[in-house]
Every structure is written in structure tokens, then in C-alpha cells.
A = this chain, B = another copy of it.
Amino acid sequence: MSEPKYVQIIEVIKQRIKEDIYLPGEMLPNQNDLATELGVSRMTVKKSLDILGKDGYVYSKRGAGTVVRKRMAHKLNSLPIGGYDGLSKELGGPVTSQVIKFAIHFPSLEVQQALELDKNDPVYEIRRLRIVNGQPYGLEHTFLPLKIIPDLNSDIFLGSFYQFLHHDRKLEIGGAQRSLSAEKADGYDQKYLKSYPTDPILQVKQIVYLKDGRPFEISINRHPYAQHHTYTYLDVKHN
């Protein structure tokens, strides 16, 4: 089957916003009219508008209507795709990778707990440097359980790992828990990110979950101060 109706409607409305059919700060048609026009029930339209709201495209006011957001949710990497594939588009150039380490071993205690593994469940360990426009963009340190994705080889990590996941392994990402902090540059950072010892490093530690709830990756990603990276996300109240 094709995609559910509410997803199709999300795409239609996004498109109309992009084409300035619905203008920022202006009202959308009301839910009943949209439902009639799109040939679905009002509840389905509402579901679409709710998701568009959570993604920062519109907001709805009871008694008034639904409005296109003025200051759009650009520069967002709130996508639960793990890496920074969302950001890469805005950086102009493509992301290339240099695999520094590709190993297999038993997990440390932290990795065991994060990935809900037994101490005898082996994991892959990958370190790779991400490069954009010839500049070091981030240093990734990733652990993956063989239980979930066996038969990896280092070549996979030269391209987009998340694309490989989706198309080759049919694994779908459900979300992630991210912890951000400011750190001092260590030896790795100085070597690969070309950071000075006094440069602050933005660290993003994430545990990524599949749609079925299994934790499937823990990674620690460090970003250099040089290009003054910011990590932006939307936090919209659920209702």
C-alpha cells in the first residue's frame, strides 16, 4: 500500500507552504474546508495539522484558526535520523568520511546498559571523521550490537549509514535520546578535528532506538569550535 492519507496531506500542505499558496502569518483554510477539498474526514486533517505543528510549520489556536509560522523551522536537525544528514544539505557540500577505527569486541558496562546487552553480546566499534567542504566537521564514536546488525564491513561507513540501514536492512529509526555538553579538546580532537587544547568541543551523546523500541546504537559525536557549530531542535508541547 501507499502512504497513509495523513502523511500525504502533510506533504500537500508542506508543498503549498513552500509555494507560498499558504503564506507565513496567514490563516490556512479551516479544517472542514480542507477535509472536503482533500476528500478525507476532518479528524484526518487534524492529525496532519497536529504533526505539522510539532514540526514547527504551523500552529493552531482554538476558536481562531491555523496559521503558518512566520519564522520557519529552518536549520533544524531535530530529525531522529541519528547522524547529521539533515544538516549536511545546508552546509553546501557533501559529507565525506574517513574511517579511523573499525573493530569488534565485548561491550563496556556503559555500552551494555545503553544497548540493553549482555556482557557476552559483541558490538562493533567505529570511529570516523566526518568532513564537509574539506573541513573537519565531527568525530564520531559509535557502538552497534551484532545482535541487531550483523555482517557489517568498514566500507559501509564511507557513505550514509542510515540510508544503508533503511534500504538494505529494513531497519527503521524510531527516535533517540540525546545528551549535549561542552567539553575540553582531548588528543583525538586535536589530532583529527584540528582543535587547539583550549578550544571548547560540543559533544552529542545519543542512544538511537528502532521503531520497535530496541536500542540499536550509542554514539558520541564531537564537533570542533572552529566553525562554531550549533545544534538546533524544536521542543513543542504535546497535546
Q: Which of A's residues lie within 8 Å of B, judged by CB? A: 51, 54-56, 59, 61, 64, 67, 69-71, 73, 78-80, 113-114, 116, 173-184, 198-203, 205, 207, 209, 211-213, 215, 223, 225, 228-239
Contacts and interface: CB of A to CB of B under 8 A. Distances in A.
Number of copies: 2
A214 to B, nearest CB: 9
A235 B80 contact: yes
24 contacts: A54-B238, A59-B209, A59-B213, A69-B213, A70-B116, A71-B113, A71-B207, A80-B235, A174-B236, A175-B234, A177-B232, A178-B232, A178-B234, A179-B232, A181-B202, A181-B230, A181-B231, A182-B183, A182-B225, A183-B200, A198-B198, A200-B200, A211-B237, A233-B235
Nearest to A201: B182
Contact of A238 (B51, B69, B176): B51
| Residue of A56, A232, A235, A238 most packed against chain B (CB within 10 A) | A235
A184 B228 CA distance: 11
Contacts of A61: 211-213
Nearest to A200: B200
Contacts of A70: 116
B233 A233 contact: yes
A114 B70 CA distance: 10
A235 B175 contact: yes
Given A180-B180, A184-B200, 15 more contacts: A55-B238, A61-B212, A73-B177, A80-B237, A175-B235, A176-B234, A178-B232, A178-B234, A181-B202, A182-B200, A182-B203, A183-B200, A184-B198, A184-B225, A233-B235
